[in-house]
Amino acid sequence: MDYNFREIEKKWQKRWVEQKTYQVTEDESKKKFYVLNMFPYPSGAGLHVGHPLGYIASDIYARYKRLQGFNVLNPMGYDAYGLPAEQYAIQTGQHPAITTVNNINRYREQLDKIGFSFDWNREIRTCDPEYYQWTQWAFIRMFNSFYCNDEKKAMPIGELVKAFEANGSQDLNVACSEELHFTADEWKQMGEKEQQEVLMNYRIAYLGNTMVNWCPALGTVLANDEVVDGVSERGGHPVIQKVMRQWCLRVSAYAQRLLDGLDGIDWTDS
């Protein structure tokens, strides 16, 4: 008797959807377990073999933990912003919003055919305003904050303005790009533009001049791992190093706090 996988798979996958087999709800009676895959870039016309290679392994583990009685959250999403999606749109001559949605629909179809136990109610698309509004929110919070070395935490930029108005830059112990020296009177005599330039020296999210990998053909800055032997990994275009003014994060200011925070996370050393 032949194993008619097409009919069998179709039947059970339909049942899983109808009965919401993999939908997760909060259940205080069970231990929680979180399985998180690396989200794919929907920048091609379908999955490549590297996607299911990892997803199958994590799906096996998710099913194993469910059988052990855990309440397992196993979501899937799409890393749908940035250069890969943009370049695919350019190559195909279509708007990124069209190609990205079409690619996501194709990826979803293929993922469902494989039969993964994802909770699609928890799907995330990084190109969705409902998602990226939070990255914008975080950026604004960092822009409106400075890092106080005494308190070892970020504080509102308004507190720094009050310190400038009272004592200028005297006795400050805060993270900055360069040491500035001015009195309270000198601060008050500055125009709005000059004051904002001074504050930029202290903001956690700030504009700065840094050396970057610039790809003229792609019209964007590339990370080091996107450059191979002097050309872009995507497209093979020449990449040059140049100084550009761009947004930076003052990560070094709170690096130790990030490291110390690892002690409170249940995470492997690797």
3-state secondary structure (DSSP) of residue 203: strand
Phi first, then psi: give them for residue 50, nearest 5 degrees.
Answer: -70, -25
**pLDDT tens-place values along the chain, 270 residues long:** 788 988 999 999 999 999 999 999 999 999 999 999 999 988 778 888 888 999 999 999 999 999 999 999 999 999 988 777 777 787 788 888 898 999 999 999 999 999 999 999 999 999 999 999 999 999 999 999 999 999 999 999 999 999 999 999 999 999 999 999 999 999 999 999 999 999 999 999 999 999 999 999 988 889 899 999 999 988 899 999 999 999 999 999 999 999 999 889 887 877
Contact (Cβ atoms closer than 8 angstroms) between residue 165 and residue 139:
no
Contact (Cβ atoms closer than 8 angstroms) between residue 54 and residue 94:
no
Return the closest-CA partner of residue 186 out of 162, 158, 155, 165. Answer: 165
CATH topology for the 5-127 domain: Rossmann fold (3.40.50)
**pLDDT tens column, 229-257:** 999 988 899 999 999 999 999 999 999 99
DSSP state, 70?
-
| DSSP code string of 206-260 | EEEEEEEEEETTTTEEE-GGGEETTEETTT--B-EEEEEEEEEE-GGGGHHHHHH
Helix residue ranges, H only, the chain: 5-18, 50-67, 83-92, 96-114, 129-143, 157-167, 184-189, 192-200, 255-261
Sequence spans of domains, the chain:
5-127, 142-203, 208-250
